[in-house]
Amino acid sequence: MANPWRGEVTLVLDGQPHVMRLTLGALAELEAGLESGSLVELVRRFEAGRFSTRDVLALIVAGLRGGGWQGRATDLTAAEIEGGPLAAARAAAELLARAFMLPEDSHGRV
């Protein structure tokens, strides 16, 4: 089960739940693999709803690797993602948001 306070998001691939997390290493790999721009620009694309399927795939691969998955992006081309492309995009956006969220205490303070 994913722990949102650790930045984790669950994605179900081929009927198996996988915990995704953007570790520092996963973020570095993600940024190195972006065709253009930086992580800040990636965040802006998601906030504006202008992200591409390549962005979604890159985030999912990075998150899966951060969660311990040993696969490659090409392994996902044949995988069944529960909920389809929309669920994948939502999981990617949530993963990105959680990576940069600060946990709040019970009074809403950081």
Own/partner pairs, 1-10, CB within 8 angstroms, 24+ separation: 4/98, 5/103, 7/95, 7/98, 7/99, 7/101, 8/67, 8/98, 9/63, 9/91, 9/94, 9/95, 9/98, 10/91
Higher pLDDT, 14 or 43: 14
Is residue 109, in this structure, part of any structural domain at all?
no
Is residue 12, in this structure, part of any structural domain at all?
yes
pTM of the model: 0.84
Give the total number of structural domains in the chain: 1
Confidence check: pLDDT of 36 > 70: no
Q: What value does the mean pLDDT take over residues 79-95?
A: 94
Higher pLDDT, 109 or 21: 21
Q: How confident is the model at residue 60 (pLDDT cuts 50, 70, 90)?
A: very high
Is residue 61, in this structure, part of any structural domain at all?
yes
Query: What is the span of the domain harbouring residue 68?
Result: 4-99
Is residue 75, in this structure, part of any structural domain at all?
yes
Q: What value does the mean pLDDT take over residues 36-42?
A: 81
